Structure 1
Amino acid sequence: MATHSSSRYEGFLKEYLATLKSQEESMVQINGNSPQLRIRKYIVDWLCNACELLKLDQCTVHLALYILDVFMDGHNIECPQQSLVTLGCIWVAAKFEEKETRVPRATDLNKLVMDRFSIGSFVAVEAMILRHLRWNLSVPTSAIFSNFFALAALPHDPGDHSTYRRLSERFNYYLSYFLQESLKEFVLSTIRPSKTASACIAASRRSMGLFPIWTEPLAQLTGYSLSEVLPLVDLYFCGNSSLVIANASLSSCDNETPDSGVASDIEVSNTDSVDSDRSFGITPKRKQVSYNSDTTKRRKN
């Protein structure tokens, strides 16, 4: 009976992973054409702060940034409207990822920018975003993949649950940290999220002193070899001061959040109405391209 249940569980995992990989193939490719690319790191910080204040899940944060990257890649956004677009992406992502009771209202979003916009502005920008995405929000982000890959990330001794629990808590902290760091690197938004998630898993294992950092079960589950994952780990996650910062944060977790909202981080305007995309300060630039194997082959890294 146990063997039969285990077999069904393994079958479910394979089917789920196949679905994620299939959805990954149809993701929109981000080409780096956004005029906002030079200030993207500040936008990412602003988005993350807003999501933290709204107490949104990490999967929502990753989906919101993916939506924002895709939207910015295809539109010219005037600086005063950047915060409105960012909040609109958060709103769309929250409606898809969060429980209904945890989805922020437009008034909650507006409070983060000191009530600078009308409610109609949020509804209008939401509609623009959904049209641009063609209503396709079934996107497996790095956060989604990492939750799945984490099933094979740790050695599990059923006889020592307390040790495994402590190990798991520490691993989850590192994984959350590296996933957050991955948002800041624009280059990582142009590669497959499953690969970025794999690098975050490997970086977390290395940070905890778990060797080898890439095991055979992980290779089989993710579909990536050590040679494919290690360059990302060395370049973006465990180089420079990333590990020092991660360990310092783990030693002294500061959970304080600002009371005054996040309005000062991105300049906002007093726009009250939206008559058209152009009057809104957001104009379309180009058609979107599917992120499939053919376009990936044509891209030059």
Structure 2
Amino acid sequence: MDQNLAAEENIFVVNEKSEKNRYQTENERLAKTHWLSDYARDIFFTMREQEKRRLPMYFLSPQIDERQKMLELLQMVAKTHKISRCALHLGMYYMDRFSDHYKIRVDKLSLVALTCLHIAAQIENTDAFIPRYSEMNQLVRNAYTAFEYKAVERKLLCFLNFELVRPTTASFVELFACSFLTRCDFAAYTRMLDDFERNQNLHPYQRYGSFEQMLASLAQLLLRMADYTLTIFRFANEPPSLLAAACIAAVRQVSGVKRWSGYLIGLTAYTEAQVEPFIDVIAGYHFYQTIQPICEISSSGQESNQNLSSPDSGFEQSLTESTDLVVSDEVVSLGVGTYNIITVQMQDSRASEAQTNLKRPRIEDNGETQPALKQPKVDYEPID
């Protein structure tokens, strides 16, 4: 009887060894999906059905020029709070569709972006470490109140009709990450390197000591290429499963592995002809990112922080103490390692009272002082 009581008491106990578990490595995160292997095909086909219900993009957003800044802001927030890659991709899906239907004030764009990421984190994150609005708000110098976040959240949920679970490229990539390479691929790759070294004395590609080492390395590259699809805006209406298959082909192509095979047709349900139009675009973008010099922040006189590269599922390194957050009265500038300085406009130059609104006192998420009748400072005008 005592044993049963003890077991019941431990059913819902949150593990307090949280700090180590919270920052698990990406390989550990992907390895935990092995228990789903018996149901992987069912999950895959369910995701394929769900992706058909994604909202289309019409590219009518008047804020489309600000999209890259919002993406970089969300990448920085995801890195800071260890939010998963799937949540980042889903948050951008929400942001793209919402801004495609509404005209949003420039000084409220970051408010909408942060709200989208917060909702996505609740859908995609599998742990209990989802940042509060107040924690995310600190990264924009407490520019908004809890009431504004809640008002935008209600607007987003109604716009999405509470249909929040939608697969993204990251979802499919994480599903394939442990199975897109086979031991036959590793054996053929090793033979190819041996032939190059024996006949031409060349070392065109990296040599791996084992299949597991090669899979871990190429899986990391695959996840980074999935992030590239967020930046390539014209991919917005393409099926995420197709983009994930194209990322697999691009990784194999740039790594010297045979680009496609019958095994991959069975795994992804796409032929080489279907993914071919996207391969060169993704591989070309990867080449550009590889040769692009790392930008240093000259204004601060400090070295670039290498730990702030694109978030790999948000479970690797934590921020170092050298990260800077430079804030002025008009803009918030976020220094982010390999990215250029992100400038998020926080006030409308045409509104004389905007600066005053930015300096209002902060209200905590669970505060009891929030005014019940206060209207949010977000102007939404439907686009005809």
Q: TM-score, with normalisation over the residues of structure 2? A: 0.65
Matches within 5 A, 1:238-249: 238-239=283-284, 242-243=286-287, 245-246=289-290
Shift in Å at residue 151 of structure 1?
4.1
Please, which of 258, 271, 274 is the counterpart of residue 225 of structure 1? 271
Aligned equivalents of 1:242, 1:285: Cα separation in 2? 35
- Structure 1 residue identity aligned to 2:277: P
Moved over 4 A (4+): 159-162, 271-277
Further displaced range: 105-114 or 92-101:
92-101
Shift in Å at residue 165 of structure 1?
2.1
**2:207 aligned with 1:187:** no
Aligned equivalents of 2:229, 2:81: Cα separation in 1? 21
- Asked whether the equivalents of residues 177 and 246 of structure 1 are also in contact (C-alpha less than 8 Å), the reply is no
Aligned equivalents of 2:381, 2:76: Cα separation in 1? 27
CA RMSD of superposed structures (Å): 2.9
Please, which of 307, 320, 325 is the counterpart of residue 255 of structure 1? 307
Please, which of 305, 325, 344 is the counterpart of residue 266 of structure 1? 344
**2:108 aligned with 1:43:** no
- Structure 2 residue aligned with 1:299: none
Structure 1, residues 44-91: CA drift from partner, whole Å, max 9, x if none? Answer: 122212211121111111001001011111110110000100000011
Structure 1 unaligned spans of 5+: 1-8, 287-301
Q: TM-score, with normalisation over the residues of structure 1? A: 0.81
Aligned equivalents of 1:223, 1:80: Cα separation in 2? 44
**2:105 aligned with 1:81:** no
- Structure 1 residue identity aligned to 2:252: R
Question: Higher relative contact order at CA 8 Å, sep ≥6: structure 1 or structure 2?
Answer: 1
State the percentage of identical aligned residues: 27
Shift in Å at residue 247 of structure 1?
7.5
Shift in Å at residue 284 of structure 1?
2.9
**2:245 aligned with 1:198:** yes
Please, which of 95, 117, 130 is the counterpart of residue 90 of structure 1? 117
Structure 2 unaligned spans of 5+: 1-35, 188-207, 294-303, 309-318, 334-342, 348-356, 361-370
Aligned equivalents of 2:275, 2:47: Cα separation in 1? 19
- Structure 1 residue aligned with 2:167: 140
Aligned equivalents of 1:124, 1:140: Cα separation in 2? 26
SS of the aligned residue for 1:219 comes to: helix
- Asked whether the equivalents of residues 121 and 130 of structure 2 are also in contact (C-alpha less than 8 Å), the reply is yes
Further displaced range: 257-266 or 50-59:
257-266
Structure 1, residues 143-164: CA drift from partner, whole Å, max 9, x if none? Answer: 011122334310137x999712
Aligned equivalents of 1:60, 1:175: Cα separation in 2? 17
Shift in Å at residue 244 of structure 1?
5.3
User: Structure 1 residues 121, 11: CA separation in 2 closer, same or farther (over 3 Å shift)?
Assistant: same
- Structure 1 residue aligned with 2:82: 55
Further displaced range: 14-23 or 255-264:
255-264
SS of the aligned residue for 1:152 comes to: coil
Structure 1, residues 202-255: CA drift from partner, whole Å, max 9, x if none? Answer: 1111121111x1111111221211111111011x2112x622534889xx9921
- Asked whether the equivalents of residues 195 and 229 of structure 1 are also in contact (C-alpha less than 8 Å), the reply is yes
- Structure 1 residue identity aligned to 2:282: F
Aligned equivalents of 1:169, 1:11: Cα separation in 2? 22
More helix by share: 1
- Structure 2 residue aligned with 1:166: 213
Aligned equivalents of 1:276, 1:29: Cα separation in 2? 31
- Asked whether the equivalents of residues 112 and 261 of structure 1 are also in contact (C-alpha less than 8 Å), the reply is no
